[in-house]
Structures are given as structure tokens and as C-alpha cells.
Amino acid sequence: MKWRQGVAGREKKEAKLDEIDRCIVECMRENSRVTMKEIGSRVFLSAQAVRNRVERLEDLGILQRYTVNVNCSVFGYRVHALVRGQFSQSDCAFFVGLCTRDKCRILHSYRLTGSRSTFFDIYFLNMEVMRNILGKMEERVPLQVDIVLEESSLPELNA
């Protein structure tokens, strides 16, 4: 697989990912806190050789962020919703302004193709807060809202 990545001010690099690179990425997808030594034992490299490959994958933009998934319900956010609408840039700013940390948490936002151009993955404190915020937003933009009933894990695709 060839990967082209351009970074502002830098020339685009082209890299070929081998099976070891793919295995390193998969190890880190499974557990981003895995040690270089643990990965090394799976790909038969030293921890330093793995670190060098990880740094190269970061430089190429293949590995971009190391994140923590937070269980929002532990912090009192009880309603998980997926919100779609045709948001202008000012509408997005208005919506984000409504979503203060004491009322809701936006996990992700995506610009999409098609008639519903923006998608938000968001947690609200409760149904009343959600209705209040989305009611104010619907004065500006028609919304499609889906409440998440439960999260489910995908089956292992490469098992």
C-alpha cells in the first residue's frame, strides 16, 4: 500500500507500508497504551526499532492522535444523540456555543456529502437539556436527531 501525505510547507512523502507497519498500526488500534516492547515481541523487532517505525508513521501522518475514550455517563451525561443538519459556519459556531460543558459534550463532528452536511456525535445531561438546545438550534436549521439506545462492538473483521 502506498501512502501520500502532505504537511503544510513540506514536500509530499510517499511511503510503502509493509506487513510490520500494518501490524504495528493494528496493535496500536487495539490498545494505544501498548508498549514498544510488547509490539516488538509481536513483530519480532526490538523496542527501539518499533519506536523508529512509529515515529516514521507519525511523520507520514498515518498515526495522528492518541486519544482516551471517556465514558460520558460517568460524568452525568445521560443522553447520547446523533444530530444531522445543514449547518453553515455561523450555525456551527452558534451550536457549539449552546453546548457548554455543563450541558453537553460534543465527541465528534463531521462534514458530509449529501443533503445533511454536518453530523454531530454528542452527549447531553438529560432529555430536557437536549430538547432546549436542539429547540434553539432548530429555529435556525432543520435537524435530524437519533438517540443512541446502546453502543455495540463490531465483530472482529479480520479474525
Query: For residue 68, is it left (φ>0), alpha (ψ between -120 and 50) or beta?
Result: beta
Which residue ranges of the chain lie beneath pLDDT 50?
1-11, 159
Identify whether the C-beta of residue 122 lies closer than 8 Å to the C-beta of residue 147: no
For the chain, give the number of residues: 159
The structure's pTM equals: 0.63
pLDDT at 23: 93
Identify whether the C-beta of residue 47 lies closer than 8 Å to the C-beta of residue 80: no
pLDDT at 8: 46
Strand, coil or helix: what is 69? coil
Q: Take residue 35 and report the three cell numbers written for it.
A: 508498549
CA 75, CA 69: separation in Å to the nearest integer?
13
